[in-house]
């Protein structure tokens, strides 16, 4: 399992369009991907669960990937979150 901690820079957090794009990015990978904010851990491949986590600007989250392409997933998703427009 690979884990990375990132800070959300997008004004809208991971809601609506940024969340949808994040989920689409997660679905490109075979690995199980979870997103953790505090004690709340949700699937990165479910928009409803991701939105339910309430991830907002300046929140620090952890992205966990577990599977055959976990290294690639963590790298890609870290870059993806960093490039979300603020």
**One digit per residue, pLDDT tens: the chain, 86 residues?**
999 999 999 888 988 899 999 999 999 999 999 999 999 999 999 999 999 999 999 999 999 999 999 999 999 999 999 988 65
From 54, 86, 60, 50, select the one nearest 7 (Cα to Cα): 60
From its phi and psi, is residue 19 left (phi > 0), alpha (psi between -120 and 50) or beta? alpha
Catalytic entry in 2, 4, 9, 15:
15
* 15 flagged as catalytic: yes
Sign of the torsion angle spanned by Cα atoms 43, 49, 54, 57: positive
pTM reported for the whole predicted model: 0.92
Query: Domain 2-83: what homologous superfamily?
Result: HPr-like (3.30.1340.10)
Domain boundaries defined on the chain: 2-83
């Amino acid at each position: 399992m690979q884990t990375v901690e990132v800070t959300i820079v997008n004004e809208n957090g991971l809601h609506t369009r940024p969340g949808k794009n994040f989920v689409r990015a997660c679905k490109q990978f075979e690995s199980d991907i979870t997103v953790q904010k505090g004690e709340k851990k949700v699937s990165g491949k479910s928009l409803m669960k991701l939105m339910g986590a309430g991830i907002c600007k300046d929140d620090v989250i952890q992205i966990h990937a577990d599977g055959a392409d976990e290294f690639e997933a963590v790298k890609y998703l870290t870059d993806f979150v960093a490039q979300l427009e603020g």
